[in-house]
Every structure is written in C-alpha cells, then in structure tokens.
Amino acid sequence: MLNKAERAWSYAMDLRSAEKQGREVHHMMRKLRKAVVYGSMFEKLCAETADDRTALEAEAYAAWLAGSEHLEREQWEEALTKFSRCRTVYDELSKVSEAEVGRQHQRKCPKP
C-alpha cells in the first residue's frame, strides 16, 4: 500500500511540474486522489496490525496526502484541517521519540 501511494503521489507531482493543460491536470488529480486512497488503506492496515507508533506515523502520512490533494484542489479549509492533524501527530511523535527521530519529525513539519 505504501509503495502504491508513493508511486501515485510521485507521478502526480511529475505531472504537476509539466505544463498544465486540461487532460494533464485531470490526470494529475486522479493520480493524487489514488495516492490518498492508498494512503488511507495503509493507515487502516497499520491501525489494525501495527504497533501504536507505526499507526500514528501512518495516520500522519495519510493526513499529509489528503492535505496535499485538498491544496491542489484549492480547498483551503480542508487542506488546513488535514495539515493541522498531520502536524499534531508529528508533534506528539517527536515528544515520545528518541532525540534523532524527534529531530526528523520536526524537520518534516517545521514550525511556521
């Protein structure tokens, strides 16, 4: 699931960097939506089978993917909600993680 989400997101970002025309934009949005679906499936799988820390990381990742999709669709309120959830989870993870892992989480979602 994670690999599929990453591949779909990466392809969407590659399409985004190209010239934006009708079909390319539509195709990019479909790939981004697919990444969100795979991210959500990954989050559910981790919630059922993984330890708490991994489940939280999957939750933050799924929220980040969803926030990215909302941002591309210019749905600002929804994007802010998802990115805020991602930030909250990463803040909590950084408090309970070892020093190095904590710094990685802080770099991933820097404070404004």
pLDDT digits (tens, 9 = 90+) for 55-77: 889 999 999 999 999 998 899 99
19 or 4: which leads in pLDDT: 4
- Residue 4 backbone zone (phi > 0: left; psi -120 to 50: alpha; other: beta): alpha
For the domain that residue 53 is a member of, what is the CATH number? 1.10.3450.40
pLDDT at 100: 57
> pLDDT band at residue 16, thresholds of 50, 70 and 90?
confident
Give the lowest-confidence range in 31-40, 81-90, 96-105: 96-105
Asked if 102 contacts 75 with a C-beta cutoff of 8 angstroms, the reply is: no
**Structural domain tally of the chain?**
1
Reduce the secondary structure of 15-67 to three states and give it as a string. HHHCCCCHHHHHHHHHHHHHHHHHHHHHHHHHHHHCCHHHHHHHHHHHHHHHH
93 or 38: which leads in pLDDT: 38
Q: Residue 83 belongs to what domain range?
A: 2-108
Closest CA to 69 of 37, 21, 108: 37
